A and B are shown apart, each in its own frame.
Chain A
Amino acid sequence: MLEVQDLSVSYGPVNALRSVTFSAQPGAITAVLGANGAGKTTLLRTISGLAKSRSGSVRFEGEELLGRAVENIARRGIAHVPEGRGIIEELTVEDNLRLATLWCMGRHERQGAIEATFELFPRLSGFRRRHASTLSGGERQMLVIGRALITRPRLLLLDEPSLGLAPLVTAQLMALLRDQTLGTDMTVVLVEQNAQSALSVSQRAVVLNLGEIVVSDSAAAVAGNSDLRHHYLGF
């Protein structure tokens, strides 16, 4: 379980997060919603160690994450797919996948995991030797999600996976995410501006506004609250 307690983050004089408290359960998707500048990306970056907190605590399975190096957090089974698709364009598709497995898998297990990822995303299989820079937006998103899932993470942090994707591709990605999460012990935190799409696959939802939590409830309750939807989620 991920437990965020009284987390505050500042960029100079700007308070990006103010006393944010919520928890995310294993086997479930927790959507983090809100407008631009609400602090969603900062929240994920702080959990994965990329941003420094001013105060508070982030515990995953009882272990404090704040203050640890980014790579050490990743090595605890925490995968962060950053906004903007985070592929390494200069590497081939296969090397992008291989890179994620180096710290936790032996040679044989690694190749099996890569092939399993290509089975999950057959479209990528034909591009395995191509530079990732040649992929389309949807293919890039498949690659980063495949790369995040390849190590079977215990916590998956996804930042705007639907950004710039066609509605059909977004729906496919969300369905895949739901299938990969439900019935497993993986905890997923999904940051999205496309609130409707995110709520359709999530079990819990946290709504942020100007760095503060406005509501933390079940996804169904948030989707059913028309005032909340109208004021903060735009649908």
Chain B
Amino acid sequence: MSLFINYTLNGITEGMIFASLALALVLIFRATKIINFAQGAMAMMTTFIAFSLLSHGLGYWWTFVLVLAIGFVFGALVERVLIRPLQGKSELNPVIVTIGLLVVLEGIAGAIYGNASRGFPAAFSQSGLVVGHTKIAFSHFDVFVVVAVLVLMGANLVLFRATSLGLRMRASAFAGEISRLLGVRVGILLTLGWALAGVAGALAGMLVAPTSSFGPYFMDLILIYGFTAAVIGGLESPVGALVGGLITGLCTSYVGGYLGSGLQPLGALVLLMVALMARPEGIFARPPARRV
């Protein structure tokens, strides 16, 4: 039983990280209908920037805030420079460009930092908390992971549901031409969507790095998990990204715990297949409306 509890706690923490990357994918997909295959590599880059800043003696929290800001700018730049010129062209172009960006970023990171894995400091202790006399698989750092992702999700929820900026962003994503006719500056809002995705991705990178071997390819597998989470939740739903992330995190944790860690990616892919067969539009996709 204690194993099950520990796997569950571990799944919740991992699920939160997947949710963060899933949110990044969702923010971009709902704004521009593009799957950003480079999202993981962008997060890897910002994490390497964090690594450099920390190595040069900058404090963790300053680095944390600065890297989120860099993620924001990075996301905006990618949209403006690489994605915007593809508007109105073949739907295949963004796929090729984002995969190309993934390869380029991993190549750049490898050239600058080398391909060897290394350690990355955590904000808090990673030693399991003690409940009663038992040490559980849930540390102060895991608490931080859960809280950080929940704050990010909450901020997005407030932005989209309770602010006029969020209303403009939703309108731009759903009906760009109509929104422009209503005076909405759609172009800026699409850039903002990519920028916010950059923040979510940068956060995911900072949260994953202390728990895994940190190197140029460390986000590749997380991207697959994040993508699985986004699809399960329903590619356009931030809440779906959270729920999908938790489902994926729990699934991979149970598979890793009971069947072996080597089977975790397979577990995620089986989960993705089951989700696509059972509810291809995702759990939180809005059912098609009935005209009356």
Chain A nearest CB, measured from B288 CB (Å): 8
Q: CB distance A74 to B290 under 8 Å?
A: no
Check A50/B184 contact, CB under 8 A, given A102-B167, A102-B168, A136-B292.
no
- Interface membership of A66, Cβ < 8 A: no
Contacts of A75 in B (CB 8 A): 183
Q: CB distance A100 to B292 under 8 Å?
A: no
Chain A nearest CB, measured from B172 CB (Å): 10
- Interface membership of A131, Cβ < 8 A: yes
Which of B170, B183, B290, B292 sits near A71, CB closer than 8 Å?
A: B183
Q: CB distance B185 to A71 under 8 Å?
A: yes
Residue of B nearest to A70 (CB): B180
A75-102: contact bitstring with B at CB < 8 Å (1 yes, 0 no)? Answer: 1000110100011111100010011101
Which of B170, B184, B289 sits near A134, CB closer than 8 Å?
A: B289
- Tally of A-B Cβ pairs under 8 angstroms: 76
Contacts of A50 in B (CB 8 A): 177, 181
Chain A nearest CB, measured from B188 CB (Å): 10
Q: CB distance A71 to B291 under 8 Å?
A: no
Contacts of A133 in B (CB 8 A): 289, 291
User: Interface of chain B, helix or strand or loop or mixed?
Assistant: helix
- Interface membership of B174, Cβ < 8 A: yes
Q: CB distance B168 to A99 under 8 Å?
A: yes
Check A70/B290 contact, CB under 8 A, given A89-B174, A99-B167, A99-B168.
no
Contacts of B181 in A (CB 8 A): 48, 50, 70-71, 74, 79-80, 82, 86
In the bound assembly, the distance between CA atoms of A134 and B287 in angstroms comes to 12
Q: CB distance B174 to A74 under 8 Å?
A: no
Q: CB distance A86 to B289 under 8 Å?
A: no
Residue of A nearest to B175 (CB): A88
- Per the CB 8 Å criterion, the residue count for chain B at the interface is 22
Chain B nearest CB, measured from A142 CB (Å): 14
Contacts of A100 in B (CB 8 A): 182-183
- Interface membership of A176, Cβ < 8 A: no
Q: CB distance B178 to A86 under 8 Å?
A: yes
In the bound assembly, the distance between CA atoms of A133 and B175 in angstroms comes to 13
Which of B175, B178, B183, B291 sits near A102, CB closer than 8 Å?
A: B183
| Residue of B164, B179, B181, B286 contacting most chain A CB atoms (<10 Å) | B181
Q: CB distance B174 to A91 under 8 Å?
A: yes
- Interface membership of A40, Cβ < 8 A: no
| Residue of B180, B182, B184, B289 contacting most chain A CB atoms (<10 Å) | B182
| Residue of A80, A98, A99, A102 contacting most chain B CB atoms (<10 Å) | A99
Chain A nearest CB, measured from B83 CB (Å): 19
Q: CB distance B289 to A131 under 8 Å?
A: yes
Residue of A nearest to B288 (CB): A133
B window 136-189: CB within 8 A of A: 164, 167-168, 170-171, 174-175, 177-186
Residue of B nearest to A151 (CB): B183
In the bound assembly, the distance between CA atoms of A102 and B168 in angstroms comes to 9
Q: CB distance A103 to B184 under 8 Å?
A: yes
In the bound assembly, the distance between CA atoms of A71 and B184 in angstroms comes to 6
Q: CB distance A91 to B171 under 8 Å?
A: yes
In the bound assembly, the distance between CA atoms of A95 and B179 in angstroms comes to 12
Residue of A nearest to B184 (CB): A71
Q: CB distance B180 to A74 under 8 Å?
A: yes
Contacts of B186 in A (CB 8 A): 71
Contacts of A71 in B (CB 8 A): 180-181, 183-186
List, sorted by A's number, 19 A–B pairs whose CB atoms are closer than 8 Å.
Answer: A50-B181, A70-B180, A70-B181, A71-B183, A71-B186, A74-B182, A88-B171, A88-B179, A90-B175, A91-B171, A95-B171, A99-B167, A99-B184, A100-B183, A103-B184, A131-B289, A135-B292, A136-B291, A136-B292
Q: Which 10 interchain pairs have the tightest Cβ spacing?
A: A133-B289, A103-B183, A74-B183, A70-B180, A90-B174, A88-B175, A100-B182, A75-B183, A71-B180, A80-B181
Q: Give 6 A-B pairs besides A89-B289, A91-B170, A103-B182 with Cβ atoms closer than 8 angstroms.
A: A75-B183, A90-B174, A98-B164, A99-B168, A103-B184, A134-B291
- A: which residues have CB within 8 A of B? 48, 50, 69-71, 74-75, 79-80, 82, 86-91, 95, 98-100, 102-104, 131, 133-136, 147
